[in-house]
């Protein structure tokens, strides 16, 4: 009998089996294409959303879950006295965690909301650890200590290949965006303290592979052992397949999870982006 229940949002990367095994509640973000509203993983698959976005002349609009949606979820889960631990995508990427906080302040049950400072499988590392803690009968306070350790052991890198969506979304100035597009520049970023920080830039897809070669080499040089690796993508390509092979050869004992990004992440990262998330061993 678990002492608390887990809530997260659809930017997380979990398998259906993991969600079912731990009875995790996933609150979906929404995205709109051509005036049609889609709910992540509910009314459209990630692959379908990517194809619709590629064909659209306008950038999709993504939205965090409404505060009322979280409130209904919390009221339902706490109705019989259970506590809730709600773990969400980094505040710097989405207002989702703020909606969750507002709902937690209004619900009659006991709800603890935290910012994971990550997304995708990197966020799933925390969600799964929390679920295991709940199953083991740990308190939320004890679980939060465990999650801080998981956070310290997590690394997230992302490469944005096509900058058009970031330009349209105002995340890169139009002039700078045109220059980088002309030069075939690829943006490499790392999540540090919950903020996507420029890691390095390179020209052409060969620079992407070289960057991950350098990341792997640094980890091996420092004798870092890997517990799990998540690869999140917005469409696989020759270079992303090459990166996955490199990772599997470098860390053959690590647990791998490869998946499409959520619709909201696809909206901002654009097609052919790749993110690698590491969970190092203790």
pLDDT of residue 235: 93
pLDDT of residue 186: 63
Write down the H helix ranges in the chain: 16-21, 46-55, 67-78, 96-106, 120-135, 140-152, 164-168, 174-182, 204-221, 238-250, 263-269
Q: How confident is the prediction along the chain (282 residues), in pLDDT tens digits per residue?
A: 558 999 999 999 999 999 999 999 999 999 999 899 999 989 999 999 999 998 988 888 889 999 999 999 999 999 999 999 999 999 999 999 999 999 999 999 999 999 999 999 999 999 999 999 999 999 999 999 999 999 999 999 998 876 565 555 444 444 344 434 433 446 788 999 998 887 766 656 788 899 999 999 999 999 999 999 999 999 999 999 999 999 999 999 999 999 999 998 998 888 899 999 999 998
Identify the CATH class of 4-29+64-152.
alpha beta
pLDDT of residue 164: 61
CA atoms 15, 155, 227, 111: torsion sign: negative
DSSP string, 215-256: HHHHHHHTT--EEEEEEEESS--HHHHHHHHHHHHH-TTSEE
Per the structure block, which two tokens stand in for 196? Answer: 């996507």
Contact criterion met (CB below 8 Å) for 268 and 239: no
Residue with the two structure tokens 């075939």 = 184
pLDDT of residue 199: 76
pLDDT of residue 196: 82
Domain ranges of the chain: 4-29+64-152, 154-280
Q: Are strands 61-63 and 30-33 parallel, antiparallel or unpaired?
A: antiparallel
From the candidate CATH numbers 1.10.600.10, 3.30.1180.10, 3.40.50.300, 3.30.930.10, the one assigned to the domain spanning 154-280 = 3.30.1180.10
pLDDT of residue 268: 84
């Amino acid at each position: 009998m678990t002492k608390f229940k887990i809530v997260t949002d659809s930017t997380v990367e979990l398998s259906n089996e993991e969600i079912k095994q731990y009875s995790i509640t996933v609150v979906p973000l929404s995205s709109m294409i051509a005036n049609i509203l889609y709910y992540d993983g509910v009314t459209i698959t990630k692959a379908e959303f990517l194809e619709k976005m590629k064909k659209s002349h306008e950038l999709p609009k993504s939205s965090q879950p409404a505060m009322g949606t979280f409130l209904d979820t919390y009221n339902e889960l706490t109705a019989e006295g259970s506590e809730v631990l709600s773990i969400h995508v980094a505040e710097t990427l989405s207002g989702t965690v703020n909606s969750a906080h507002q709902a937690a302040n209004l619900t009659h049950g006991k709800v603890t909301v935290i910012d994971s400072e990550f997304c995708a499988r990197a966020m799933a590392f925390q969600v799964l650890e929390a679920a295991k803690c709940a199953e083991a009968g740990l308190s939320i306070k004890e679980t939060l200590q465990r999650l801080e350790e998981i956070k310290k052991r997590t690394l997230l890198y992302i490469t944005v290949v096509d900058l058009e969506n970031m330009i349209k979304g105002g995340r890169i100035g139009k002039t700078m965006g045109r220059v980088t597009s002309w030069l075939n520049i690829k943006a490499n970023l790392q999540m540090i303290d919950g903020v996507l920080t420029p890691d390095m830039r390179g020209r052409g897809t060969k620079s992407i592979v070289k960057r991950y070669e350098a990341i792997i080499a640094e980890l091996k040089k420092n004798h870092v052992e890997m517990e799990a690796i998540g690869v999140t993508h917005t469409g696989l390509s020759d270079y992303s397949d090459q990166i996955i092979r490199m990772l599997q050869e470098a860390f053959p004992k690590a647990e791998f999870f490869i998946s499409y990004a959520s619709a909201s992440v696809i909206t901002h990262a654009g097609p052919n982006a790749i993110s690698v998330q590491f969970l190092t061993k203790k």
